[in-house]
Amino acid sequence: MRRRKRDNINQRIMTGVIAMALLVLVISYLFLTMVSCTDDTRQRFHVEGSISDATDSTLILEAMMLDSISDMGHVKLSQEGAFSFDIVADTASNPEFYRLRIGNRHINFVVDSTETITVIAALTDMSVNYDIQGNDDSRQIKTISQLAIQLQMQLAALRNDASLTEYQRTQRAYQLIEQYKNTLKADYILPNPASAAAYYALFQTINGQMVFDPLNNRDDVRYFSAVATQWNDLYPNSLRTQNLVNIALRGHRNTRVPRQVELEIDSTKIRQTGIIDFGFPDIRGREHRLSDYPDNVVLLDFTAYSLPNSPQRNLELRDLYIRYHDRGLEIYQVSLDANEHYWKTVSENLPWVCVYCSEGIANDMVRLYQVNQLPTYFIIGRGSEMKYRAEQITDINATIEQELGL
């Protein structure tokens, strides 16, 4: 009797264990099903195609974020060159930009939904000659990139053209860049300022320098404002929109109709120094005042490193600095660039005084010096006496030597 009762108890226990195990299995199945369904319903986009002549090359898919580049995946290409990326779509509420890259060759495109982007190219000229399907904006971005590469080739040929003077090369470079900018305005921004291609066009660079100047050029500010307005209507919460709006607002402040500058300036100090004194910070935040160099001849230079001829001009200034610095010349260079980070990068290794004016040509002190175009420079003699403006100088070396008493 007892044995039978014990067997019944054991049987009930075993039945309970089996039931509990089955319950755990059911719960686990339901959980896995939920996770699987969640994964399956996440928005995704696909990038596929082939890159020929690229056997064993590593193809990288990168997200071009507002302030960084993010690796989204990579694949080693076989002899066929086929590739496929399946990417969880960004939750941002605006189109996002990506690129396929092998070494220094890359293909830019944009994704605005859960679409499939198809790219066919050959490694040797993949940045220039490729076929892309998926959306119209990516095809327009292709054309913009091709025009930029063509411009870079023209500028490189221009630099090596010994038949032209430096002035002629500079003027021709300005013309070529202006033609490219006008094409971007007419063909890619004005027709549809709400498009991703219009946004992409605004931030084009040539040799690391922005084609548009959204902080100091009134006409360029208009185009930034047009795109910012459209993006603010369509994507009001995105970081790209906020950045666009901030740039446009700052540009409007800088380029508004010049107001009468009303500053209280110590007239005694002006008579004693011959200059209107001011100070701006260097890349480490330390202020340098123009009056800090009374024993030097000072070349005061207002410029922007984003100007097309800036690298060549800085080489010329370096020659002057090397030749005359030990004899008493100091160069005080004021950057009016729109991009402070770019100024810091370029100026870091320059040997002379490099300071930054965040307001650009809208700054009151800059206006007092009547800086209406860039670059503009002055020669200040010993004792901080203003001597010459750029247009009064025909031979910069001779003028500096005269002031140095050489």
Over the stretch 152-177, which tens digit does the pLDDT of each residue have? 999 989 888 888 887 788 888 888 99
Q: Is the pLDDT of residue 28 over 90?
A: no
Between 126 and 258, name the one with better pLDDT. Answer: 126
Return the CATH number at 374: 3.40.30.10
Among 223, 255, 287, identify where a domain stops: 255
Q: Is the pLDDT of residue 136 over 90?
A: yes
Among 255, 284, 303, identify where a domain stops: 255
What's the CA dihedral at 24, 30, 35, 40 to 10 degrees? Answer: 150
Q: Is the pLDDT of residue 361 over 80?
A: no
Q: Does residue 262 lie within any of the structural domains? A: no
Q: Does residue 274 lie within any of the structural domains? A: yes
Structure tokens at 203: 């931030």
Pair 289, 377 in one domain: yes
- Most confident range, picked from 90-94, 336-340, 345-349: 345-349
Between 11 and 261, name the one with better pLDDT. Answer: 11
| Domain range for 315 | 267-404
What's the predicted TM-score (pTM) here?
Answer: 0.59
**SS3 assignment, position 305:** coil
The set of residues, in sequence order, having a beta carbon less than 8 Å from that of 212 and lying 6+ positions away, is: 181, 202, 203, 204, 220, 223, 224
Q: Which pLDDT value is given to residue 166?
A: 78
Pair 166, 233 in one domain: yes
Pair 197, 284 in one domain: no
Pair 284, 246 in one domain: no
Among 72, 102, 134, identify where a domain stops: 134
Pair 271, 400 in one domain: yes
Q: Does residue 94 lie within any of the structural domains? A: yes
Q: Is the pLDDT of residue 211 over 80?
A: yes
Pair 23, 123 in one domain: no
Q: Is the pLDDT of residue 306 over 70?
A: yes
Pair 112, 188 in one domain: no
End-to-end CA distance of the chain: 127
Q: Does residue 148 lie within any of the structural domains? A: no
264-285 per-position pLDDT tens digit: 544 444 444 467 788 899 988 8
Task: Give how many domains the chain has, as a whole number.
Answer: 4
213-266 per-position pLDDT tens digit: 888 888 888 889 889 888 988 888 888 888 888 888 888 877 775 544 444 544
Q: Which pLDDT value is given to residue 47?
A: 94
Return the CATH number at 51: 2.60.40.180
The mean pLDDT value for 304-320 works out to: 86
Q: Which pLDDT value is given to residue 267?
A: 45
Neighbours of 389 (CB within 10 A): 14
Q: Are 251 and 396 within 8 A, CB to CB?
A: no
Q: Are 110 and 134 within 8 A, CB to CB?
A: no
Distance, CA of 63 to CA of 49 (rounded, Å)? 18
